[in-house]
A and B are shown apart, each in its own frame.
Chain A
Amino acid sequence: MAGLTLASPSAERRVYSPWRETWRRYSRHKLAVVSAFLLLVLIFAVLVGPFIWRVKIDDIDIVAGLQGPSLAHPFGTDDLGQDILARMIYGGRISLAVGLAAMLVSVFVGTLIGALAGMSRGALGHALMWLTDLFLSLPQLPLLLLLIYLFRDGLKAAFGPEGGIFILIVLVIGGLRWMPVARLVRAQFLSIREKEFVEAARALGASPVRQVVRHILPNALGPVIIAGTIDVAAAIIAESTLSFLGLGFPPDTPTWGRLLYDAKDFLDIGPHWALFPGGAIFIAVVAINFIGDGLRDALDARRVI
Chain B
Amino acid sequence: MLDKEMRSMIGDVKDGRMDRRAFIKRMAAVGLTAPLANQILALGGVAMAEGASTYKPTKRGGGGALKLLWWQGPTLLNPHFATGTKDQDGSRLFYEPLACWDPDGNMKLVLATEIPSIQNGLLAADGKSVTWKLKPGVKWHDGKPFSADDLVFTWQYAKDPATAAITIGVYRDITVEKIDDLTVKITFPKPTPFWADAFVGAGAGQILPKHLFADYIGSKSREAPTNLSPVGTGPYKFVEFKPGDLIRGVINPDYHMQNRPYFDSVEMKGGGDAVSAARAVIQTGEYDFGWNIQVEDDVLLRLEKGGKGKTVYAVGGDTEFIALNFTDPNVEVDGERSSMKTKHPLFSDPVVRKALSLLVDRDSVKKAIYGRAGRTTANFLNGPEKFVSKNTSWEFNIEKAAKMLDDAGWKPGADGIREKDGKKLKLLYQTAINGPRQKTQAIVKQACQKAGIDVELKSVVASVFFSSDVANPDTYPKFYADIEMFQIPLSQPDPSQHMRRYLSTAVATKENKWQGTNFPRWVNKDYDAAINAADTEMDPVKRAALYIKANDLMWEDTVFIPVMHRLKVEAAANNLRPVISGWANETDNLFDWYREE
Contact = CB atoms under 8 A, between A and B. Distances in A.
User: A and B: direct contact (Cβ < 8 Å)?
Assistant: yes
Interface of A: 58-60, 62, 65-66, 79-80, 145, 149, 153, 161, 243-246, 250-252, 262, 265-266, 268-269
A58 B439 CA distance: 11
Interface stretch (B11-19, B201-209, B314-322, B453-461): B453-461
Given A65-B298, A65-B368, A66-B298, A246 B445 contact: no
Given A65-B298, A145-B464, A250 B457 contact: yes
B298 A269 contact: yes
A65 B442 CA distance: 14
Contacts of B474: 149, 246
A251 B459 contact: yes
A182 B585 CA distance: 52
Given A79-B296, A149-B472, A161-B456, A245 B443 contact: no
Interface string B473-486: 11000000000000
Contacts of B435: 262
A237 B364 CA distance: 30
6 contacts: A58-B446, A65-B368, A145-B464, A161-B456, A250-B458, A265-B299
A80 B368 contact: yes
A251 B472 contact: no
Contacts, number: 68
A251 B438 CA distance: 7
A244 B460 CA distance: 8
B457 A60 contact: no
B441 interface: yes
Contacts of A268: 302
A269 B297 CA distance: 12
B400 interface: no
A246 B433 contact: yes
**A-B pairs with lowest CB-CB distance, top 9:** A251-B438, A265-B275, A251-B459, A250-B457, A62-B368, A246-B460, A269-B302, A246-B459, A60-B446
Interface residues of B, number: 28
A65 B457 CA distance: 22
A254 to B, nearest CB: 10
Contacts of A251: 433, 438, 441-442, 457-459
Contacts of B443: 60, 80
Interface of B: 275, 295-296, 298-299, 302, 364, 367-368, 433, 435, 438-439, 441-443, 445-446, 456-461, 464, 472-474
B439 A266 contact: no
A243 B441 CA distance: 15
Given A66-B298, A80-B439, A245 B433 contact: yes
B441 A269 contact: no
A166 to B, nearest CB: 16
B180 to A, nearest CB: 54
Contacts of B445: 58, 252
Contacts of B472: 149
A62 B367 contact: yes
B416 to A, nearest CB: 13
Contacts of B433: 244-246, 251
Given A66-B298, A251-B459, A252-B445, 20 more contacts: A60-B443, A62-B367, A62-B368, A79-B439, A80-B368, A80-B439, A80-B442, A80-B443, A145-B461, A149-B473, A246-B433, A246-B458, A246-B459, A250-B457, A251-B442, A252-B441, A265-B295, A266-B299, A269-B298, A269-B302
